[in-house]
Chain A
Amino acid sequence: MGYGQTKNSCLDCHAALPDRLGVTQEKFSQDIHAQKGLTCVSCHGGDPDSDDPDKAMSPKAGWKGKIERKQIPQLCGSCHSDPAYIRQFNPSLRTDQLGQYHTSVHGKRLAAGDAKVAVCTDCHGVHDLRAPSDPRSTVNPVNVANTCARCHADANYMKGYSIPTDQFAKYSLSVHHQALMVRGDLSAPTCPTCHGNHGAAPPGIDKVQNVCSNCHAFQDQMYEKSLHKAAFQAASLPGCVVCHGNHAISYPTDAKLGTGPDAVCMRCHTPGDKCDQARANILADLVQLDQAIKGADRLLGLAESSGMEVSEARLAQDQARDSLTKARVTIHSFRTDLVDQDIQAGLKIAAKNLKAGKEAMVERARRRAGLGVSLIAIGMVLVGLRLYIKKIES
């Protein structure tokens, strides 16, 4: 396979060739395979010891020439599906990529003769292929959406596939993209997180919940308890996507429970029905807790800026905020009694903190009153001293 080979005459010529055939030593040295000791021969065959191009690229020497697109997965898989071989370089690297690829839309279409679909090199690159953990890699979490978009956002290229090409544009607006690119959270979802990588395919309407629950486990538990699950399944609706969308998932605000432009409940429910009343109650509860937390925050902030020691209450505010977050998660059960439990717990904490804030403000007023009395006393002493000095000096 060329592993450990020292001489490589291929690069002597190909370094000087134009674009499509050109591979410089500098470029190839960036490739993870080159760094692990593999050479051109490992994929293309031939005789790298010969300086004669005819001998070096002789079929007798096993030269394969340019690898056909449809052969690429199989060629890569010849090593990457061999656990014993891969273990020498990276024992934790998976070896099921080829098997997964065969189950993907890409793999199936390739097998059906569609050469336009993605093969290994389209996503990973070729001749300067880097490990996914390398930030310069085309499949690094921060780059992979752009890599997918190279085809999937190209309306001309995707013509004939009957799928939209606005996924990347929508994803760029999403809370997931913001988490990844703005907050720098590398665990935030990007295309392969939901679609899979080598086995890339749409999750399927009835399986969306399973995809989202990989991260949003608590929401999933609540949704399992809800009436919506059965209703959505019966109507063949795609679970989470019904309310949150897919690629353009925005930050979920309480307005989703409202009746304004961002509202989602009223897309299906009738105003005034039982569910609408439950929705209104849940929303009112959330608003109440949110306001209670903000009110306590304001007062504690004022007390703190006045130098009052309210750090314990400030810390306890996080517990109230946790209750609000928990209530927002519990919404996925669509049960007012469960949401109310979280709301009441949060309200209790917020009320206690508000009380601490009020006490701090009372204490502040008491201190200032004490200061006033002290200043009057000091002023009187000063006047007395001045009069006494005047008296003894007259």
Chain B
Amino acid sequence: MSQPVHIWFEEGQEDGEVVRRLVCEGVVGPGAPRLDLWWRIPGIASLPVPPVLDSLLGGPLLWAAMSNQDIVVHGPVSAGGLYNLNQLVEVRQRFSPERYPRAIELRADSIVEVARDANEPSKAIAALSGGLDSTFTVVRHGLGLAGEATIPIAAIVMVHGFDASLDRMDQFDAMRRRAEPTIKLLDVPFHVVRTNSRLDWRTWPQSAIPLTASALSHFGHLAPIALVSAGAPYGIPRFSIGHPTLIESLASGDWFRVVTDGTGFGRVDKVEMLAPFRDVLAAIKVCWAGDDPGKNCGMCEKCVMTRLNFLAAGIRDAPCYETPLNPEMIARLAMPSMTPARDLFRMCWNEIEARKCRGPEIDLLRKRLSRVPPDVVIEGRKKIARWLPRPVKQLIKRALA
């Protein structure tokens, strides 16, 4: 067993803006032996100090688990936060033992009771990335479209350091500009949080929601809820371990808790709910593949999937793309095995099938997906391929294309 990681919290002000840090010492692996995770909040010179550190610990927890290191927090943690974060790593370890060799333990110097004001309404700080899921969530709750389930939004936060890397200010600015119609529609305070907490990609996307909650928690004095959007819906036939709602809720503490919204909805449901807001639909940005950071490339898997979501919702010419969907885009998708095709099943095909959609694009997608071989066939094929002459290989490849 490795030595534990020791974590301290620091807060200061640099260039007139709040900067908060988790100083992590005793780290094994990249960045060893000391890592500083920081969050900067542009335009804000001071914020109330968080009473507990729960919400900042989700990211370090996962990379410490990858390095098989326990965590000792030299600061206050709530009893609920302590229990939840330990459960989070226990469940993650069960799902991905190859990535997290042991359910590490998170301990804290002080476990404190925190209570919110008895008269405080249950509002939320909502995350907005500009993608379909988060746009759905902020519009649904910001405009009260969830009826009795609506959580009023106290502020919206966009994080720089996740989708757009810190050295790509141009990308982030384009992302923010593109989301402006949505922000304007909701008319609530908007903040940016810059952070290096994603570190490398090792724990992504499993750390995505815990780290989003960390960014939102800087505004935890305004509302008790971190409102984040769901990815895969509850009803998908095959479970997705990327970031299921069940696990994300474990990034909650007694002071600030995570509510994952929209898990009961598919992507087509989400497009349908947003359909009356054409400017909002046009603002959706789902991919980072193209040259222009302000636009969707329109051709990558995520873009084609989203175009098909729009098609299933009855919108052939999706306003967030410059050109309409055509079958050629589906024909070009790379689907060598189940792994790259899985999202197309989970987030696209199941809903298309349930809605009994018809058309040349659907027929082509069906044809393409029906030929995707199971992983075991890929493995077997690789073994056999070593012994086959080239013409035979080409024949098989052509037959399966």
A, B from the same assembly: no
Interface residues of B (CB under 8 A from A): none
